Structure 1
Amino acid sequence: MTDANTNDVRQFHPRARAAIDNPQIRQNFRRAMDGLMDKRSTAFKDWDLEALRTLGANVRQNALAQLPELLEQLEARLIANGVTVHWALDGDEACRIVAGICKARNARTVIKGKSMVSEEMHLNHHLEQHGIEALESDLGEYIVQLAEETPSHIIMPAIHKNTGEISDLMHEKTGTDRSTDVEYLTASARQQLRAKFMAADVGVSGVNFAVAETGTLCLVENEGNGRMTTTVPPCHVAVTGIEKVVPTLQDMSALLALLTRSATGQHITTYVNMISGPRRPDELDGPEEVHLVLVDNGRSGIYQDDELIDTLRCIRCGACMNHCPVYTRVGGHAYGTTYPGPIGKILMPHLIGLDEGRHLPSASSLCGACGEVCPVRIPIPDLLVRLRQESVDGDHLHPAVVSGHGAKREWKESLAWQTWRLIHGHPAAYRLGTAMASRLRALQPSRLGAWTRYRTAPKLAGRTLHQQVRERRS
């Protein structure tokens, strides 16, 4: 599926410069990221973090090693529990499935819990095209929807806005009083959403983990909107990527300990929803129907590569973003993609292709902070290097699996490296080349592209190393 914001991806550099030149954006992100990093550090203070990270990585690797079998087991258990399971090859098919479920129930309104996969699918836009209103119930997503923006963080969608900006937005869009009282603003939003929950025909949510052993869908959240989304409307539709499956409830417990502490610095979120099926005859509440849409959307391609498969370990905690010096300075919207930051740089090229997302793998200093804090030990810097290689020389790799590989290859650069290889592969050519470079060094340009924008170009030596060695020996 082609991302609706691919034109924005190509504008990463001007967007990044604009963000850096905006002191309010930088201040908002700096304050938020500092707070999240401190909370994470405090949450893990009494834990053996490295041992827990190793456990998390092993759980995810084990799940991926048996992914096809686990998906079949999950489907069988869910069907036995009364859940209807749908398989979607890409985001477009997933949108059609959800819209079809809504039409079958004559649904006109949908209330949504937080779901990055639904953002990836552009589900809201698709439903609106079919005359179905989709309203976000997560407070951050609700604010972003009011602003007609996209999320700038996978955990805290409205993290780019401060309290004053949110107050002005809610006053303009919903008529609330301008206030810096966070409790008042939150209560106002909840009051506005409560009637929508009660009137919604369908509730749509994401899934943090799907347990194959029991056919359980786990959803963690802090606001209660996820619980209401999945229980109040008569029909609940959950959407998730195929990689979210885990073998057992015990496996999920280890990942929960990592997810909540890494994401928000909490020992556990306020709500941990365990969904195992629709309402039974002897139960008083819950949906009449439950559907699960399993979305591939490029994940099978990632799964086929022994190196890139590590991308699928991600539990969507956002820790890599919170510690990334690039993301912290430019924010999420600069990337122009559903998933920003370090995880977006290694995931989005699979979803939109390297031809569209060619700049993403290079939007990193390779400082390694993302890899050091990842709770499931995804080697993000190594994967960035791999994708950089594919973006310029994909045809010669093992084999290239990302669409659009070689998109950044330029004939001038290719010719330069071929010449370099020729010179360094033949001693006579090497001696001639270095001798000519020394003699013609006066012709060396003072500017060497963007690299010398903030650096001084190195000067060629007047004598080659071999010449200097011979002179010392004589």
Structure 2
Amino acid sequence: MIATEHPVNDFIRAAESALTDPAAVSQRDMLARATPLLRQHAVAEFGEFEALRQHLKRVRRHTLENLDHYLPRFELEAIRNGNQVHFADSGDEMNAIVLDICRQHGARRIAKGKSMVTEETELAAALQRERMEVVETDLGEYIIQLAGEKPAHIVGPARHKTIAQIRQLFLDHHKLGSRELDSAESLVAEARQIMRKHFLEAEVGIIGANALIAENGYSMLVTNEGNGDLCANLPRTLIVCTTFDRILPRGEDAAALQRLLARSATGQRQTCYTSYYSGPRREVEGSGPVETHIILLDNHRSDLLDGPFHEMLDCIRCGACLNHCPIFAAAGGQAYGSVYPGPMGSVLAPLLESLETHAALPDACTSCGRCEEVCPASIPLPGLLRELRREKSQRGIGSSRWRLGLRLHAWLACHPALYRWATGLAIRSLNWLGRRRGVFHRLPFASGWTGQRDFPSPQRGTFMQQYAARERHREHEQ
């Protein structure tokens, strides 16, 4: 299952609400301008990004097409390393496995690293219902946990929060007396102070994985804070929650993925911490977990393997498509009502939960194609969104008025002469009606546009009419 904050088909309403906060809109605009520049610089500096992207695409395709070989190989090697490997068909089953492990060890305190999979299954809430103390140790996730919100971005969960808002959260939740907390540095220092206690007292650590390596049974995790290593090495029991599509054949494939991931996600050459976990500590080792578990979640992913959406399994969760999407920049991640926002979430959420629940998301796209251009996995996101829209239309999901309008447009487009006559009439009429003001503040059937901006009065004549007139003028001059 995917956690959802909004009722069915509520993306439009949530996006409209997000646009009413000028400060939040300004912050999203600033991030939308800055983050693509960081990626652009990192990719240009690397020089071999495209070749590596195509290489990793072939590796991922090969791995998923031969999962019957690589999945048992990973399981065998992981068990040889001392891990216990579990398979979960659904989010509820994964949560139940984690809960059972915690109960076996009498654990009440859990230190949790950043993991989109555990967000997907709402693991923290499931453990808290059993009166376990679960603390998110990634700073962004911790801020969101204090705020009682869902992440706004898969890489930067709290990127929508201002320093002032974070300061107030810390003052409200950390009973440390009077203090200024007037800078980002002071906020980070206080978070470290609070987090240290949780790391030292936790009986169970929970982390995710960016890659699973079939040849040796290792898991790879990349972070910028080091909290993943503390979650993995300080508690006596470690649980790695991930999905089977993270499997890669060799260690060098995981290293290649890391080189693409860091540049695409944050514009870094590499993340601050790249860690490989083999299993529980050995007798000669003085630190590390005594017991380790790896849980591989399915949650409808196996249904995608041979279908038209199989390329979504190549996604490396970098967030580049979010950073370049004009819809995401305008509406913000929380408007999507899904753990996975932006273009990748607009495909994943309907597939992993239901198209009925997230019927509006396939339409949250301008078809500009920027998401596909920057995706390190070369996933054809605009095409997949169009496929979902086609499926939605076939199944009669969504507004009947909207579907009728699309059918009428399709019929008209199949009759070129009639189409040119009708559009020409509409253009001339709008030009005549708007000739004084130059814009329309309101238009019938277009409140979605005019609710946020004025509609420019069109010039006289359609594009084809103006083009034909220009060609006639050119021929006359010759």
| TM-score bracket relative to the smaller structure | 0.7 to 0.9
Whole-angstrom CA distance in 1 between matches of 2:136 and 2:170: 15
Aligned residue number for residue 410 of structure 1: 400
Whole-angstrom CA distance in 2 between matches of 1:228 and 1:211: 21
8 Å Cα contact 2:113-2:228 kept in structure 1: yes
Deviation at 1:161, TM superposition (A): 0.6
Aligned residue number for residue 195 of structure 1: 197
Q: Which amino acid aligns with 1:298?
A: H
Deviation at 1:230, TM superposition (A): 0.4
Whole-angstrom CA distance in 2 between matches of 1:127 and 1:420: 50
- Normalising to structure 2: TM-score of the pair? 0.85
Aligned residue number for residue 33 of structure 1: 32
8 Å Cα contact 1:9-1:335 kept in structure 2: no
Deviation at 1:35, TM superposition (A): 2.7
8 Å Cα contact 1:349-1:358 kept in structure 2: yes
Deviation at 1:417, TM superposition (A): 3.7
Aligned residue number for residue 470 of structure 1: none
Change (3 A) 1:284 1:9: farther
Whole-angstrom CA distance in 1 between matches of 2:79 and 2:155: 30
Whole-angstrom CA distance in 1 between matches of 2:160 and 2:102: 33
Deviation at 1:205, TM superposition (A): 0.4
Is 1:217 matched with 2:219?
yes
- CA deviation vs aligned residue, 1:145-179 (integer Å, no higher than 9, x gap): 01111110001110001212111211121146343
Give secondary structure in 1 for the equivalent of 2:29.
Answer: helix
Q: Which amino acid aligns with 2:365?
A: S
8 Å Cα contact 1:9-1:337 kept in structure 2: no
Aligned residue number for residue 261 of structure 2: 259
8 Å Cα contact 1:448-1:457 kept in structure 2: no
- CA deviation vs aligned residue, 1:30-49 (integer Å, no higher than 9, x gap): 22333322221221222133
Which deviates more from structure 2 when the two are superposed, residues 118-127 or residues 170-179?
A: 170-179
8 Å Cα contact 1:8-1:337 kept in structure 2: no
Aligned residue number for residue 435 of structure 2: none
Aligned residue number for residue 347 of structure 1: 348
8 Å Cα contact 1:216-1:276 kept in structure 2: yes
Deviation at 1:354, TM superposition (A): 0.5
TM alignment of 1:275-354, pairs within 5 A? 275-305=277-307, 307-354=308-355
TM alignment of 1:436-447, pairs within 5 A? 447=444
Whole-angstrom CA distance in 1 between matches of 2:309 and 2:236: 40
8 Å Cα contact 1:219-1:226 kept in structure 2: yes
Change (3 A) 1:422 1:202: same
Aligned residue number for residue 229 of structure 2: 227
Aligned residue number for residue 397 of structure 1: none
Aligned residue number for residue 241 of structure 1: 243
- CA deviation vs aligned residue, 1:295-335 (integer Å, no higher than 9, x gap): 00110111120x31011100000011011111111111111
Whole-angstrom CA distance in 1 between matches of 2:372 and 2:402: 34
8 Å Cα contact 1:109-1:202 kept in structure 2: yes
8 Å Cα contact 1:321-1:341 kept in structure 2: yes
Change (3 A) 1:393 1:110: same
Aligned residue number for residue 43 of structure 1: 42
Whole-angstrom CA distance in 2 between matches of 1:283 and 1:224: 20
Whole-angstrom CA distance in 1 between matches of 2:240 and 2:70: 18
Which deviates more from structure 2 when the two are superposed, residues 64-73 or residues 240-249?
A: 64-73
Q: Which amino acid aligns with 1:242?
A: F
Deviation at 1:410, TM superposition (A): 2.9
- CA deviation vs aligned residue, 1:269-309 (integer Å, no higher than 9, x gap): 1111100110111100000111011000110111120x310
8 Å Cα contact 2:74-2:217 kept in structure 1: yes
Change (3 A) 1:219 1:457: same
What root-mean-square deviation, in Å, do the aligned CA atoms of Structure 1 and Structure 2 show? 2.9
Give secondary structure in 2 for the equivalent of 1:28.
Answer: helix
- Normalising to structure 1: TM-score of the pair? 0.86
Q: Which amino acid aligns with 2:28?
A: F
TM alignment of 1:382-461, pairs within 5 A? 382-394=383-395, 406-408=396-398, 410=400, 413=403, 417=407, 447-448=444-445, 453=450
Deviation at 1:53, TM superposition (A): 2.1
Q: Alignment partner for residue 271 of structure 1, among 273, 277, 291?
A: 273
- CA deviation vs aligned residue, 1:204-239 (integer Å, no higher than 9, x gap): 000000001110100011111100000000000000
Aligned residue number for residue 58 of structure 1: 58
Number of equivalent positions: 438
8 Å Cα contact 1:63-1:247 kept in structure 2: yes
Change (3 A) 1:367 1:77: same
Whole-angstrom CA distance in 2 between matches of 1:167 and 1:452: 37
Deviation at 1:56, TM superposition (A): 2.6
Give secondary structure in 1 for the equivalent of 2:50.
Answer: helix
Q: Which amino acid aligns with 2:55?
A: L
**Unaligned regions of 5+ residues in structure 2, if any?**
430-442, 462-478
Give secondary structure in 2 for the equivalent of 1:38.
Answer: helix
Whole-angstrom CA distance in 2 between matches of 1:257 and 1:244: 16
8 Å Cα contact 2:3-2:120 kept in structure 1: no
Which deviates more from structure 2 when the two are superposed, residues 138-147 or residues 29-38?
A: 29-38
Aligned residue number for residue 438 of structure 2: none
Change (3 A) 1:286 1:362: same
Aligned residue number for residue 469 of structure 1: none
8 Å Cα contact 1:6-1:352 kept in structure 2: no
Deviation at 1:450, TM superposition (A): 5.1
Aligned residue number for residue 358 of structure 2: 357
Q: Which amino acid aligns with 1:84?
A: Q
Whole-angstrom CA distance in 1 between matches of 2:332 and 2:298: 28
Aligned residue number for residue 21 of structure 1: 20
Aligned residue number for residue 398 of structure 1: none
Change (3 A) 1:194 1:416: closer
Q: Percent sequence identity over matched residues?
A: 39
Give secondary structure in 2 for the equivalent of 1:291.
Answer: strand
Change (3 A) 1:4 1:37: closer
Is 1:367 matched with 2:357?
no
8 Å Cα contact 1:109-1:201 kept in structure 2: yes
Whole-angstrom CA distance in 1 between matches of 2:405 and 2:262: 50
